[in-house]
Structure 1
Amino acid sequence: MLSAAAAADVRFYGGAPRRRRLRPRSCLASPPASGGGCSESESEKARSLLVERYQDGVSKRYTLDGNSKLQVHWERRESAVNTVEEEEDANSLIPQAVKDFVLPAGFPGSVSDDYLEYMLWQLPTNVTGWICHTLVTSTLLKAVGVGSFTGTSAAASAAAIRWVSKDGIGAFGRLFIGGRFGTLFDDDPKKWRMYADFIGSAGSIFELITPLYPGYFLPLASLGNLAKAIGRGFRDPSFRVIQNHFAKSGNLGEVAAKEEVWEVGAQLLGLSIGVLIMDTSGVKSSYSTLVLTWFSVRLLHLWFRYQSLSVLKFRTVNLKRARILVRSHVGHHVVPDYAACNKEENILTWERFLHPQISFGVPMEIMFDGEESNDMVDRLLKLYRNEKYILFVKPSGSRSAAFFVTFKEGATSMSVLRSLWQAHWLHKNLQRQDEVFTWVEESVLALEHGFTDFLKQMEIAGWDHNQIILKVPKEPVLVIEHPDQEV
C-alpha cells in the first residue's frame, strides 16, 4: 500500500506544507502488489511527461493518454540510487527522522569529518554539567534559608526540583527550535534575532505575573522559561551568523571573544542600574510601579535591538535582498549596492506578505487547477526546456497575480534567482490577462535577454555571485522524462 503521503498533495506557501485531496482520475496507478493500474493498451498509448519526487519515496507521474488528456499517477520510486539509499536507511540504527532532527542538512558532506565525534563527546559533557547545576541550585536555596544542612532539607530539595523542572521544561523550546528550524538562520539572521527578543519579552511577562498567582508558580514560570528558551533558540544561531559576518579576516574566535567583553561589560552595568532601581522606595513598595518600570525599559531594549540590527550590511543575497535587486533592475535597469539594499530591507517583514506573491515548490497539478487545456504541461515543458524551474501565473482580476514555481532536478540558488527575476518582470508588465501563456512566453524571452545584464549589474554593484543563498525547496523534485523536453 502507498504511504499516507500518497493520498495528499503537498503545497508550500512560505515554507509551510499543506495538503489537499486529489480529484478523481480516470486511471490512478496502484502499487505492484495490488495488481491495479492502467491496462497494457492504455500504458502503450500514454506519453510520460515528468515525475514529481517527494522525500518519503512516493512519486507523482504526469502523462498524456491517447486522447491527449492529462493523467496523474501515484507510484513508488524504484531507481537504483534510491534503492541503495533506502537500504542504508533500513540498516541504520538511527531513524531518518531522528537524523534530520539532530544532524545538519546534507550530513556528512556538509560538515567536517570530526563533527560527529565531537558532538558525541559533547553530549555526556553537557549532561554532567547540568547534573552539577541541579545540585548547586539546591545548595544555593539552602544558603538563603530554604531548609538547611543541619535540619530538614525537604523544603530546599522540593524548591530545587521545582526550579530545575522549570528549566527543564524551558529546554524543550531550544531542543525544538534547533531540530526543526535549523535551516532558517543563514538566510535571514536579522529577522530571527529580532523575533528572538519579542519571544523572550513574552516569556518575561509570564515570570512577571508569578507574584500575583504564587500557587501557579511552576506552570507560569515554566511557560516563561519555555518562551525565553525558544527565543534563545532563535537568538544564538542568528547571532553566530552575525559574528561570522563580522569576522572578515577569518578571526571568528577573536570576534567572539571581544563580543564577550562588550556583553559582560553591559551585564555588569545593567545589573548595577537594576539594583539601584530595585532599591528605590517606589519599586520596592509598589508592584504596579515595578511592572511599569519593566515595561518601559523593555520597550527601550527592543528599540535599541532594532536599531543595532538595522545597521548590519550583509553582502549575501537572501530572498528579501534578491527581491530588492531584481525589482530595481526590472524597473530601472540598475542594481543597488549592498549598503543601499540592506538599508531598504525591512527586518520584520515575512516573505508571504511581499509582492508579487510567489509560491515556491508548488506541484504541477496545483498550477493548473481548473484549467481546461490538457496540453498546458506539455507546452510549458517545451517553453522551459533550458531552465531548471517552471513558473506559471494565475491572474486574480483586480488583485495582484499569483506566481507558482516548481523546480527541476539539479536546480540551484541561481535557478531561484532567475525565477524571481521572471516573476517580477511579469508583475511589472501585466497586460493581457486573458492570454496567460503568451504573457509567460514573453517573460521567458525577456529573461533570456535581461538576466545577463542583471548579473553584470550585480557585479558592478559589488555583489558576489558565490554568496547567493536562495534555497531550493526539498520537494517536489521535478524529473523530466519525455525525450523532446531534454535540454
Structure 2
Amino acid sequence: MARPTTRAGPLCTEQFGSQAARGCCAAADGSLQWETWGWRWWGFSGAGTANPGGRDAGEGGAPGTAFPTLSRLLAVFLPQGFPDSVSPDYLPYQLWDSVQAFASSLSGSLATHAVLLGIGVGNAKASVSAATATWIVKDSTGMLGRIVFAWWKGSKLDCNAKQWRLFADILNDVAMFLEIMAPIYPVCFTVTICISNLAKCIVSVAGGATRAALTMHQARRNNMADVSAKDSSQETLVNLAGLLVSLLMLPLVSDCPSFSLGCFFLLTALHVYANYRAVHALVIETLNEGRLRLVLKHFLQRGEVLDPTSANRMEPLWTGFWPSLSLSLGVPLHRLISSVFELQQLVEGHREPYLLHWDQSQSPKKESWVIIKDTHQVLDKLFPKFLKGLQDMGWKTEKHQLEVDEWRATWLLSPEKKIL
C-alpha cells in the first residue's frame, strides 16, 4: 500500500533518548504522517548506526526499532533510557556478569546437593535433631563472620570495588568446593560446612557492598534504584535458567561423585573467567590508590595524564588489596610528630591546608625535613597542571575513592589555615 505524499516539510521532530529521530509531516489527506530517519543498535563493540528501515515500535516503544516485541522485552531488564542512562561499560559488564551468575547457579546446585546429602537427607538413620543442630551452628558461625568482616574491611570496599568483587566471587567458589568435599569426610563435616558458610557470609558482605558501589558508578541519571532493580531482574532470570538446567544436570551427576566434581571444576573455571572479564570491562572515572599511582607514574615519566580507560585496563585486579606503598590520609598528629620542634619543621615554609610527613625510618630526621620541603615545592609546581590534565581526560575530580580517616587539625594561631 503506497504511503500518501506529504504537502509540506516536517512540522516537528521527536526522539526517544538516543534512539531514532522521526519527523511529523502533514499528509495529502490532512492526517499526520510519521517518518523514521534512523535507529541505533548496540552490542559488545558499542553503538553503531543503520539506515532507516523496519517499522516503528508503536506507542510506548522506541521509534525506528525493527523488532518492537524484542524492544519491549529488553525494557523489562534494562534501565529506562538505556543506553544513555547508564555508563558506557554497562552492557559488557552485565553480559559477563550474567555468564558468571549462570555458572555460579549451577555450581551452587551441586554444592547444595552435597550438603543435603551430608546432613542426612534420604538416610533413614539420620537424626533430625542432629541435622538441625548442625544447621544452627553453621548459620551462627556465618552471622558472626559477617559482623566481624564488615567491621574489619567495610571502609575499604568502596576504594577497591573491582578487586573485592573478584575476591568475593572466588571466595564463593572456595566455599562451594568445601561443601562438595564435606560429605566425603563425614568426621569433619560440621567443621567444613561452618567454614564454608563463614566464607559465604563474607561473600555476601563484600559482594553486596561492591555491587552498590558499581551501581553508583553505572547510574548516570540519578537512577540508582532503577539500575539496581533491573540488575536484580537480570540475575533472577539467569538464576531461573540455572535452576532449570540444574534439574536436568543433577540426576546425571548424583550417583557419580567424580563426575560431579569434574563438572564443578569446569563451571568454576568459567565462573572465574567471566568474573575477570566483567570487572576488567569496568571503566571507573574516579581515582583510588591503584589508579592514582598509575596516573601519577605516567604523568611524572611522560608529562601526560592517562585517560580513565587506559588506567582501568592497567589497574591490577588480583593484587589490588595490598598496595605497594603505605599511604595514610587523615592520621592523628602523634603519628607524625613527637615534639613542638618537629611540628614547626613540618609547617615551616608553606601555607597549604595539609601536612606531609616522610617515614623517618627510611631516612635520617634532618634529611626528612629537606625531603618534605622539596616535595611541597614540587607539588606546588606540578599539581595545577596535573589537576587540569585529569579534568581534560575525563576524570571526576570532585570526588575520589581514596581511603581517608577522620582526623583533622586546625591551627589556633592561624584560624584561616586548616590542616587535613
* Same-fold call, TM cutoff 0.5: yes
Shift of 1:240: 1.4
- Counterpart pick for 1:346 among 316, 331, 353: 316
Q: Matches of 1:362 and 1:254 in 2, distance apart? A: 38
Give the one of 338, 341, 352 matched to 1:386: 352
> Contact between 1:360 and 1:473, CA under 8 Å: does it hold in 2?
yes
1:160 aligns with 2:132: yes
The 5 Å alignment of 1:203-214 reads 203-214=175-186
* Cα distance, 1:285–1:159 mapped onto 2, change above 3 Å: closer
Distance in 2, matches of 1:457 and 1:157, equals 66
Equivalent of 1:447 in 379, 383, 393: 379
Cα distance, 1:317 vs structure 2:
1.9
Output the CA distance in 2 between the equivalents of 1:368 and 1:253: 46
Q: Taking structure 1 as reference, are residues 232 and 214 closer, same or farther at Cα in structure 2, changes over 3 Å only?
A: same
Secondary structure at the aligned position of 1:388 is classed as coil
1:232 equivalent in alignment to 2:204: yes
Alignment deviations for residues 156-186 of structure 1 (CA, whole Å, 9 cap, x no partner):
3543343243223222222223344322222
Q: Which residue of 2 aligns with 1:323?
A: 293
Please give the alpha-carbon distance, in whole angstroms, between the structure 1 residues aligned to 2:139 and 2:415: 61
Partner residue, 2:71: none
Cα RMSD over matched residues?
A: 3.6
| Paired residue secondary structure (1:165) | helix
Query: Is 1:272 the equivalent of 2:204?
Result: no
Instruction: Kindly tell me the number of residue pairs found equivalent between the two proteins.
Output: 300
Letter in 2 for 1:222: C
Aligned mate of 1:191, from 152, 160, 163: 163
* Alignment-mate amino acid for residue 261 of structure 1: S
Alpha carbons 1:320, 1:351 under 8 Å: kept: no
Kindly indicate whether the alpha-carbon contact (under 8 Å) linking 2:307 and 2:394 is maintained by their aligned counterparts in 1: yes
Task: Note if contact 2:156-2:403 (Cα within 8 Å) is conserved in structure 1.
Answer: no
TM-score, normalization by structure 1? 0.54
Residue in 2 that maps onto 1:218: 190
What residue identity is the alignment partner of 2:224? L
Aligned residue for 2:74?
none
Distance, in Å, in 1 between the alignment partners of 2:410 and 2:315 is 35
One-letter amino acid matched to 1:230: I
Residue 472 of structure 1 aligns with which residue? 404
Q: Partners of 2:417 and 2:308 in 1: how far apart?
A: 37
1:48-197 equivalences in 2 (<5 Å): 155-197=127-169
Distance 1:164 1:364, change over 3 A: closer
Per-residue deviation, residues 270-299 of structure 1 (Å, max 9, x unmatched): 23333434333xx44432332232123212
How far 1:239 sits from its partner (Å)? 0.6
SS at match of 1:466: coil
Deviation at 1:347, TM superposition (A): 1.9
Distance 1:332 1:321 in 2: 16
State the distance in 1 between where 2:155 and 2:335 align: 26
Output the CA distance in 1 between the equivalents of 2:302 and 2:150: 41
Say whether residues 1:255 and 2:221 are aligned partners. Answer: no
Q: CA deviation at 1:362?
A: 6.2
Q: Structure 1 residues 201, 447: CA separation in 2 closer, same or farther (over 3 Å shift)?
A: same
Three-state SS of the structure 2 residue aligned to 1:391 is coil
Contact 2:346 2:355 in 1 (8 A): no
Shift of residue 448, structure 1, vs aligned partner: 0.9
Equivalence for 1:242: 214
| Letter paired with 2:392 | I
CA distance in 1, matches of 2:404, 2:388: 23
The one-letter code of the counterpart of 1:354 is S
Distance 1:377 1:200 in 2: 48
**Amino acid in the other structure paired with 2:346:** L
CA contact (8 A) 1:361 1:473 kept: yes
Once the two structures are TM-superposed, the CA of residue 361 in structure 1 deviates from its matched residue by: 5.7
Paired amino acid for 2:389: Q
CA-CA distance at 1:244 after TM superposition? 2.1
Q: Is contact 2:353–2:417 with CA below 8 Å preserved after alignment? A: no
Find 1:292's aligned residue among 262, 267, 279: 262
Amino-acid identity (%) = 25
- What does 1:1-12 correspond to in 2, within 5 Å? none
Q: Which amino acid aligns with 2:285?
A: R
**Is the CA contact 1:384–1:390 (under 8 Å) kept in the aligned structure 2?**
no
Amino acid across the alignment from 2:272: L
Cα deviation for residue 455 of structure 1 reads: 1.1
Q: In the aligned structure 2, how far is the partner of 1:471 from the partner of 1:210?
A: 39
SS at 2:357's partner residue? strand
Query: Counterpart of 1:186 in 2: which secondary structure?
Result: coil
- Is the Cα contact below 8 Å between 1:201 and 1:228 reproduced in 2? no
Distance 1:274 1:362, change over 3 A: same
Pick closer, same or farther for the CA change 1:442–1:216 going to 2, 3 Å: closer
Instruction: Say whether the 8 Å CA contact 1:480–1:486 is kept in structure 2.
Output: yes
When structure 1 is superposed on structure 2, of 463-472 and 357-366 the one drifting more is 357-366
Q: 1:391 & 1:331 partners in 2: Cα distance?
A: 24
Paired residues of 2:308 and 2:393 also in contact (CA < 8 A): yes
Instruction: Note the residue ranges of structure 1 that are not aligned, 5 or more in a row.
Output: 1-139, 148-153, 403-432
Question: What amino acid is aligned across from residue 232 of structure 1 in structure 2?
Answer: S
Could you tell me which amino acid in structure 2 is paired with residue 296 of structure 1? L
Shift of 1:300: 1.9
Q: What is the CA-CA distance between 1:383 and the residue it aligns to?
A: 3.5
Change (3 A) 1:439 1:229: closer
Q: In the alignment, is the contact (CA less than 8 A) between 1:315 and 1:467 conserved in 2?
A: no
Whether the 8 Å CA contact 2:411–2:417 is kept in 1: the answer is yes
1:183 match: secondary structure: helix
TM-score by length of 2: 0.61
Residues 443, 272 of structure 1: alpha-carbon distance in 2 compared, 3 angstrom cutoff? same
On the 8 A contact 2:358/2:371 being kept in 1, the answer is: no
- How far the C-alpha of 1:224 sits from its partner, in A, is 0.9
Aligned-partner Cα distance in 2 for 1:374–1:237: 42
Q: Identify unmatched segments of 5+ residues in structure 2.
A: 1-115
CA distance in 2, matches of 1:249, 1:226: 37
Map 1:333-372 onto structure 2 (within 5 A): 333-350=303-320, 352-355=322-325, 357-360=326-329
